[in-house]
Structure 1
Amino acid sequence: MVQLPNKQIACLDMRSFYASCAAAIEGLDVMETPIAIIGNIERKGGVVLAASPPLKKQFGIKTGMRLYEIPNDPSIRLIEPKMQFYIDVSMELTKLLNRYVPKEAIHVYSIDESFVDFTGTEKLWGPLENLIDRIQDELYRQFQLRSACGVGPNMLLSKLALDLEAKKTGVAYWTYEDVPEKLWPIAPLRNMWGIGRRLERTLEDMGVYSVGDLAHTPLDYLERKFGVMGNQLYYHAHGIDYSELGSVLIEGQISYGKGQTLLRDYITMDEILTVVLEMCEDTAMRTRLAGKKGRTVQLSFGYSKHALGGGFNRRKTLTEATDQTMIVYRICMELIEIYHDGRPVRHISVSLANLEESYGLQLSLFEPSNWKQQQIGRVMDELRMKYGSASILRAVSVTSGGTAYRRNQLIGGHYK
């Protein structure tokens, strides 16, 4: 019989992290004051990045809404994000966890969420339930941060315990025995970690509507349909995850890409191509740094709402895998020529998928200078890694349509 992972993995999440940090700076109580963290207060269309519980409950304002949707009420506090402060607080939280477990037992999943392996800590700190209570108490006393914690025998179940139960109750402990009762009833499928709307639609077309349905779908059928992903879907539906701490919950990055919503409508082809080139550069660099190459280039445009919205999402697969900026860019230009209808563009995404390992420099009979371009790309990567992403830019990035230089001044998409 296969031995399943049976560790004590906790997934610890800071509730209302951004709003709580902002409240601490302003001397406010995040549970009493309606607080909205706005990406840009100067713009009516500024995005709500975070909302305190009272703002959600009393005014119905949620993350992702716009500044103009917030009522003109004197009790509401509008605060711009201070990203460097949030990062500093996150680092202090990690230091607190490091008092109880070694660094190797902590995986910072996001700025406000971490996985912690508490296996064996009872020898030093007593029962895990008492230790988690102690840590949550310290988080509140030192940082005024309320937290939720899901605990399971592997990373997946700890994450599901957090998202599906602990965010309501504060703490939740899941075991493999809980899977039929707590995991299988989950529907719609997008409520299951790792399943997005597109995959949900595909599964529903197969007659799979809940995690229980997925768990009872034959493994060989899922593998024929989805390949390696089908294997992972089957085992995850049973609560089984062999990932080591720090690895992604669903193994294997399937693409590298970049997407951004532009600050204004881009109308001229010169400006559109400028941003596309910048994004191809970013995508290719991420792919190279991961030691990968990709065969499939995907480009998507979202048109301005002033032009009735819509857009396109198209891809092209190459005969040879690549990690070169200009090859990806040439394919994007081909896709633009075929599918772009000339309307103003507001969102652009570029990705490189169908990945394979990159084994050194690849020579091509049809492009004899190919190896030089690969060397140039790697040198540029090294310079950016050492001196910052703006240390070497293409000339188009300093034109009116370029966004790379401005984005370099931001942390997490926002000013420091």
Structure 2
Amino acid sequence: MQNWILHIDMDAFFASVEQLDNPELRGKPVAVGGTSDRSVVSAASYEVRAFGVYSAMSVVKARQLCPNIILVPGRMKRYKEISRQAMGVLREFSPTVEQASVDEAYLDGTGLERLFGPIEEVCRRIKARMVEVTGLTCSVGAAPVRFLAKIASDMDKPNGIYIIRHDEASAFLQTLPVKKIPGVGKKLVEILKRLGVRTCGDVLLKPRDFWEERLGKYGGALHDRARGIDPNPVMESSGAKSCSAENTFHEDTTDRKILRKWLLTQSERVGADLRRHEYKGRTVTLKIKYADFKQITRSKSLGGRTDETAVIFETVCELLEQLQLRRAVRLIGVGVSNFDSRTRQVTLFEESPHEAEATSELDKAVDEVRRKFGGKAVTRVELLGFRKKPAESDD
């Protein structure tokens, strides 16, 4: 029995959801993102991609390329709803599904041929069921190993199927550009170019030791990928890995008072989200993007996991104070990660005093009031009079 790993990638997911929910947008150049000149495109339909518009492009540039572009605000709650439906479809075919992001997942397809026929038929059935349940198309790649499956799903987009068979993998890799390997970034591509390497076949002209000497552990991994080796299996998803909130401002600022107010509002949102899903995190992260678009992150690991707004806020403010802010800030964000569901936090070891603390009474009270009367029913005194005018919210 041959091993198969499938990678399923929803086609232009955010934009496709907008076109699904609003038939008037179908066949038109739609992009999801903010409408101000300081915003960026979060997702682009295939119709607008034909003009050269892509995600992460500034709205100003997108309008220059496509004057008729239709910009719609993002609806993450709706995208997550459709994403859950899509993952449900995949679990109808295999018990081992690893969600990689809101719009893509890996599936262990080993043995599915006994149930559904040849691997081509497995892929067709998944695609047909996806349309039936979600109303959206997806592209499916199948290969003997994980990284090749991801590459394959991008070979025939949108709405395509691409299969790299076991006896075809070596020939496929021989001419595959190294930049196509997941995890190989621009800096590594430039280093490899200087060494005369452009394809996986070029990598194999040198032994593994050569690459390990020059690139360390990355060199060994690169050589393995060029040979079609990937030991990483599909791991069943174990829930969320992080929770975050961020905002881009209408005007860049270095005013720490304003930045702290934003951090408080974001800490409230992150804390409430953690409590709603019954997660606690150990690592708090500050994200900053400067006016020149240079981005940095700073993180701190706590003594134990927390879901308390005050702890998140105090920690992220501590991280902010360590920065000199020589340039104006364009975007700021808060994230919490390294957590497990509370129901899974059963341990044979004694919890640290911090982790053993229950959710604060203040957080419980605020959550309850907001559930009953809406998000604006309670405002912290620190935020009274604070007018929140972000260019966009990227949560």
TM-score range relative to shorter protein: 0.5 to 0.7
1:181 paired to 2:177: no
CA distance in structure 1 between the partners assigned to 2:287 and 2:19 by the alignment: 38
Q: Paired residue for 2:330?
A: 346
Q: What amino acid is the match of 1:18?
A: F
The question of 1:62 aligning with 2:54 is answered yes
The question of 1:136 aligning with 2:133 is answered: no
User: Is the 1:396–1:402 contact (alpha carbons within 8 Å) kept by the matching residues of 2?
Assistant: no
* Conserved 8 A contact 2:33-2:71: no
Determine whether 1:94 maps to 2:87: yes
How many Å separate the matches in 2 of 1:269 and 1:78? 32
Give a deviation string over 1:348-377, Cα, whole Å, max 9, x none.
578999xxxxx9789xxxxxxxx655666x
Q: Does 1:50 align with 2:43?
A: yes
The residue identity in structure 2 corresponding to 1:125 is F
Describe the shift of the 1:19–1:348 C-alpha distance in structure 2 as closer, same or farther (beyond 3 A).
Answer: closer
Q: Cα deviation per residue 1:93-123 (whole Å; 9 max; x = unaligned)?
A: 2333333x24x22222222222222221222
Residue number in structure 1 paired with 2:341: none
Q: Which amino acid aligns with 2:82?
A: V
Q: Is the 8 A contact 1:275 1:402 kept in 2?
A: no
Shift in alpha-carbon separation, 1:340–1:184, aligned structure 2, 3 A? farther
**Aligned residue runs from structure 1 range 175-324, under 5 A:** 175-187=165-177, 189=179, 191-204=180-193, 208-223=197-212, 227-246=216-235, 260=246, 262-264=248-250, 265-272=252-259, 302-304=289-291, 309=292
- TM-score norm. by structure 1 comes to 0.64
| Distance in 2, Cα, partners of 1:64 & 1:220 | 38
Kindly provide the amino acid, as one letter, of the partner of residue 20 in structure 2.
A
Deviations 1:127-149 (A, max 9, x none): 22123223323433554423211
Q: 1:269 to 1:144 in 2, by over 3 A?
A: closer
CA distance in 2, matches of 1:202, 1:352: 34
Q: Is the 8 A contact 1:262 1:346 kept in 2?
A: yes
The residue that corresponds to 1:82 in the other structure is 75
User: Which stretch of structure 1 is more off in the superposition, 123-132 or 218-227?
Assistant: 218-227
Q: Do the aligned partners of 1:187 and 1:209 also contact (CA within 8 Å) in 2?
A: yes
User: What secondary structure sits across from 1:186 in the alignment?
Assistant: coil
Distance 2:288 2:231 in 1: 37
Aligned with residue 9 of structure 1, among 5, 17, 31: 5
Aligned pair in 2 of structure 1 residues 399, 11: CA closer, same or farther (>3 Å)? farther
Q: What SS is found at the alignment partner of 1:70?
A: helix
1:39 to 2:28 alignment: no
Alignment RMSD: 5.1
Could you tell me how far 1:55 is from its partner in structure 2?
2.4
* CA distance in 2: counterparts of 1:205 and 1:142, whole angstroms: 48
- Preserved contact between residue 177 and residue 198 of structure 2 (Cα < 8 Å): yes
The 8 Å contact of residues 44 and 54 in structure 2, kept in 1 or not, is answered as yes
- Paired AA for residue 269 in structure 1: R
What percent of counterpart residues are identical?
A: 22
Query: How far off its partner does 1:151 sit?
Result: 0.3
> Do the aligned partners of residues 128 and 72 (structure 1) sit closer, same or farther apart at CA in structure 2, a change above 3 Å counting?
closer
Paired with 1:233 and 1:257, the residues of 2 have a C-alpha distance of: 31
Equivalent position SS for 2:127: helix
Structure 1 unaligned spans of 5+: 249-254, 354-358, 363-370
Range that drifts further, 70-79 or 18-27: 70-79
- Gaps (5+ residues) in structure 2? 306-310, 338-347, 372-379
Q: Which amino acid aligns with 2:114?
A: K
Q: Does 1:22 align with 2:18?
A: yes
SS of the aligned residue for 1:13 comes to strand
* Aligned residue-pair number: 362
**How far did residue 17 of structure 1 move?**
2.3
Question: Which residue type is aligned with residue 90 of structure 2?
Answer: L
TM superposition shift of 1:193:
1.0
Aligned-partner Cα distance in 1 for 2:11–2:203: 31
